Amino acid sequence: MVTLFIAGLSVFISIAQAPPIKIGMCAPISGYAAFYGEHIVFGAKLAIDEVNEKGGVLGRKVELIAEDDKNIPAEAVSAAEKLITKDQIVALSASMGSSPALAIMPKVNEAKVPMFVQTATSILITQQSGIGGNPWTFKCNPNDTMMVNALAQFIVEKRGVKSISFIGEDTDFGRGIVKGLKDWMAPKGVKILSEDYVKAGETEFTPLLTKIKGLKPDVLGLGVVGPTQIQSLVKQMLELGMKIPLTGRYDVTAKQITDYVAAGAMEGSTCVEPYNQLYTGGQNPQFVQMVMKKLGRETGIYWWGVYWSYEATRVMIEAIKRAGNTDRTAIRDAAKKIEMELITGVKVKFDDYNQWHPPAFITGVKDGKIVLFGNIQT
């Protein structure tokens, strides 16, 4: 009896003392993109707390080690290197920006560490993953081309858009969005009136907007994502007396522009999102409630980051569980086979390019309110 007790105790102790399984993350914790980084880290912690409350995975706790990449490729590479070599993480969650994610990819391929991309949306990531040459990279959220094709289809077919001007930020992200929209629209006879790129973080758009005002496009296509930039842009459009509906990849629900939406300044604008908190399918309403409760606020939340970081972390944990150990190759092979039901109720599986095909959400402004127009399977 005593032996049994001691044996039991030692098993208990070994579980309690087993070192945690370390998951790494590269996110912009400081710098101009810190607002997004905060939410991406939060999303991953949500998933990790959930599994730890249920006793962890493989009898061990899961620990998140988040490193600051400032959304700069060079910083991201050194952050990833530190996580892989010093912290000995079993898998990596990255990255907010496409440029940092693309910079880390050769690193994880070389070090043989599975990486799950949550927020970066460049098509290049998908094209270079799986049979594209990098079997260690998995892309959870839909990429720009997938989303933008859905949006282009919507505005051309449902809105009858005939001409467009573009403003993109001068990054892989911004250029990817503009190219995606343009490639779909030009063959359909939509006139491309102008195409300009501004530096990331730019808040002065008046010179450019003045030019676009003169061109009178049906819509203004944006490859600019930050709420700070969108807020400045809409404000400056108002100052110049312009009323052109916006379209593209930006967050129409951002708190910074709610006043403009309500005032009718953005009437007819549309956007495509990798996730939308207004969606009522699956477990989404419960998830949204939980996030708002934990953050203690209902607005000013970077939803895409929270949601996709959460889903990416869930699939990482699931892969560790199925692998049955923390061997990086086993985790990668397990991830490949997982068919997971997302919070939105949709089942997804990584394709040959290690890309999931979740729905893209088309939202926009109607009568001064933000409406979810629908979701399109990518």
Partner 1 sequence: MLFQHLANGLLISGIYALVAVGFTLIFGVLEVINFAHGEFYMLGAFIVFFFTGQIGISYFWSIPFSILASLAVGILVERISIRPLLEKSFESMVICTFAISMILMNGALLTWGAEPRIISSPLSAPVSFFEIAFTYQRLLVLVVAIAISLSLHLFLQRTKTGKAIRAAAQNKEACLAVGIDIARISRLTFGLGIGLCGLAGALVAPVYSVFPTMGQTAMFKVFAIVILGGLGNMKGALLASLILGLGESLIAGYVSATLKDGLAFLMMLFILLLRPAGLFGKAVRTL
> Exactly one of 31, 106, 132, 135 binds partner 1 (CB under 8 A); which one?
31
144-183 footprint of partner 1 as x/- string (CB under 8 A) = -----------------------x--x-------------
Tokens of 335: 């991830």
Distance in Å, CB of 183 to partner 1, minimum: 19
Residue 250 in contact with partner 1, rule: CB under 8 A: no
Quick one: angle between helices 98-111 and 73-81, nearest 10?
A: 30
Q: How far apart are CA 282 and CA 293, in angstroms?
A: 19
Nearer to partner 1, 224 or 316 (CB): 224
Residue 280 in contact with partner 1, rule: CB under 8 A: no
> Exactly one of 53, 214, 296, 369 binds partner 1 (CB under 8 A); which one?
214
Nearer to partner 1, 283 or 299 (CB): 299
| Part in contact with partner 1 (CB under 8 A); list of ranges 24-32, 125-133, 154-162, 319-327 | 24-32
Nearer to partner 1, 27 or 348 (CB): 27
Residue 196 in contact with partner 1, rule: CB under 8 A: yes
Residue 42 in contact with partner 1, rule: CB under 8 A: no
> Exactly one of 10, 88, 203, 329 binds partner 1 (CB under 8 A); which one?
203
Distance in Å, CB of 335 to partner 1, minimum: 31
Nearer to partner 1, 109 or 206 (CB): 206
> Exactly one of 157, 239, 341, 352 binds partner 1 (CB under 8 A); which one?
239
Residue 295 in contact with partner 1, rule: CB under 8 A: no
Residue 192 in contact with partner 1, rule: CB under 8 A: no
Distance in Å, CB of 164 to partner 1, minimum: 16
Find out whether the peptide bond into 98 is cis, omega within 30 degrees of 0: no
Residue 193 in contact with partner 1, rule: CB under 8 A: no
Q: How far apart are CA 212 and CA 108, in angstroms?
A: 42
Residue 91 in contact with partner 1, rule: CB under 8 A: no
Residue 267 in contact with partner 1, rule: CB under 8 A: no
Burial class (CB in 10 A: 0-12, 13-18, 19+), 374: middle
Nearer to partner 1, 55 or 207 (CB): 207
> Exactly one of 173, 197, 307, 353 binds partner 1 (CB under 8 A); which one?
197
Nearer to partner 1, 27 or 104 (CB): 27
Number of residues that bind partner 1 (CB under 8 A): 35
Distance in Å, CB of 180 to partner 1, minimum: 18
Residues lying near partner 1 in the complex (CB under 8 A) are found at 30-32, 34-35, 37-38, 167, 170, 196-199, 201-204, 206-208, 210-211, 213-214, 227-228, 231-232, 238-241, 255-256, 300
